[in-house]
Amino acid sequence: MIWKRAVFALFAVAAGTNVPTPLLLVYQERLDLSAEVLTALFGCYAAGLVPALLLAGPLSDRLGRRRVAIPGIVLSALASLAFAAAGDSLSLLFLARFAQGVVSGVVFSVGSAWVGELSLASGEGAGGRRAAFAMTAGFSLGPLTSGLLGQYAPAPTVLPYLIHVALVAVGLALAVRLPETVDLLHPSRTGPDRARSSPLIRAGDGLLVLTVLAPVAVCVYAFPSTIINAVPLLVDLPYGGVAVTGVLAGVTLGAGTVVAGLQRRLGPWTAVVGAALGTVGFGAAAAFATTGALPWLIAAAPLLGAGGGLCLAAGLTLTARLAAPARLGALTSLFLACAYIGFAAPFVMAVAARATSPTVPLAVGAVLTGVLALRLLPVARANRL
């Protein structure tokens, strides 16, 4: 059960990445920030994320998971401390958000590979399922907690971050006791350059990566970010406030946590079901944009959240299956880099909605996701997912 330590550490770090999301309204009011500044503040997350993703996974294949992941976990706590200490300092807020991007790029790629390697004895798919559960649980707990504390507790821009620091401290204490799986799995490596020079994937799997793994990865975050970020911008919600924003994010991402365990039963059909749920979820969101009826929003949130969670579990499992020996960290980084492309979905939808209507981009999302589900059907039948 040693893998549980890695799962908790991954969960603790994931919980911090979305803590600032419901507090946007607090920062906006306190610092009198424009929409453009808010967008830039949270967009700088990607500036730290992308290079960290591209470097951390391959680096951990050469140096080991521990040497790369542990500093990332420490940085997660430091980023939350920076948020807590920021006060009215906009520059410190930018620095803290950038650091969170670096943390995500390092810990999610390396930590997912670490969990997968520690779970090998549990059979194929166990590692991806456990890593997906850890991340989606953290993603949902963070905004739910900070949303409620931001609305009702004192020191709304301090207390949520201090709670996260305590959570990370526990995760760090567990992570430092984990074995170094890279050395255990590849004891015959002749030097640090072997992982760098070997192929990224197994021979003949390039088309599967491009037409299956990459689009499934995009769905991981395109689904939940649509309902959490795009829909509230495109359509006036019946209710507002920090707490409601946090609850909406918590329900959406929490649904992804709940369904992650279904991968054991769904097997190769996990990604198909995830894409199908996303199709229906986009349809429900389009109906909400058209009618303004709250039940459509209530249905869309868990559908898109569950679809994203299943795509994450299926994608991490497929990543482990396709990765060439000694290249799991690098391919995991590539998968997550594709996944984070999905965060561009709200921006794309906002631009499209300005030219048409809020309903159109959501309906197009439903069509595209439905096409992906059809593409995945023959792959699932061939037991290659």
Q: What is the pLDDT of residues 121-152, one digit of tens each?
A: 898 888 988 998 999 899 888 888 998 898 88
Query: Rounded to whole angstroms, how far apart are CA atoms 182 and 23?
Result: 39
* Range scoring the smallest mean pLDDT among 94-103, 118-127, 269-278, 363-372: 118-127
Axis-axis angle for helices 90-118, 3-17 (nearest 10): 160
Cα separation values, 333 from 27, 105, 171, 217, Å:
32, 8, 22, 11
Is 171:69 a contact under the CB 8 Å cutoff?
no
Q: Tell me the average pLDDT of the chain.
A: 88
168, pLDDT greater than 50? yes
Q: Which of the four pLDDT bands, split at 50, 70 and 90, describes residue 203?
A: confident
| Domain presence at residue 191 | no
Q: Calculate what percentage of the chain has a pLDDT beyond 70.
A: 93
Domain that holds residue 171: 3-185+196-381
pLDDT of residue 250: 80
R_g of the chain computed on alpha carbons: 20
Q: Which of the four pLDDT bands, split at 50, 70 and 90, describes residue 189?
A: very low
- pTM of the predicted protein model: 0.81
pLDDT of residue 351: 86
Kindly state the tokens that stand for 303.
């559908």
| Domain presence at residue 237 | yes
Give the count of domains, the chain.
1
314, pLDDT greater than 50? yes
| Domain presence at residue 20 | yes
pLDDT of residue 119: 93
Is 169:36 a contact under the CB 8 Å cutoff?
no
Q: C-alpha 265: how far from its chain's center?
A: 23
- Other Cβ atoms closer than 10 A to 139: 30
| Domain presence at residue 281 | yes
User: ∠ CA(324), CA(63), CA(72), 5° rounding?
Assistant: 105
Task: List beta partners, residue 323.
Answer: 201
Kindly state the tokens that stand for 325.
């020996």
| Domain presence at residue 29 | yes
263: CATH: 1.20.1250.20
Query: Rounded to whole angstroms, how far apart are CA atoms 264 and 361?
Result: 33
| Domain presence at residue 361 | yes
Nearest one of 320, 331, 325, 382 to 129, comparing CA atoms: 320
pLDDT of residue 147: 85
Query: Rounded to whole angstroms, how far apart are CA atoms 308 and 219?
Result: 6
| Domain presence at residue 149 | yes
190, pLDDT greater than 90? no
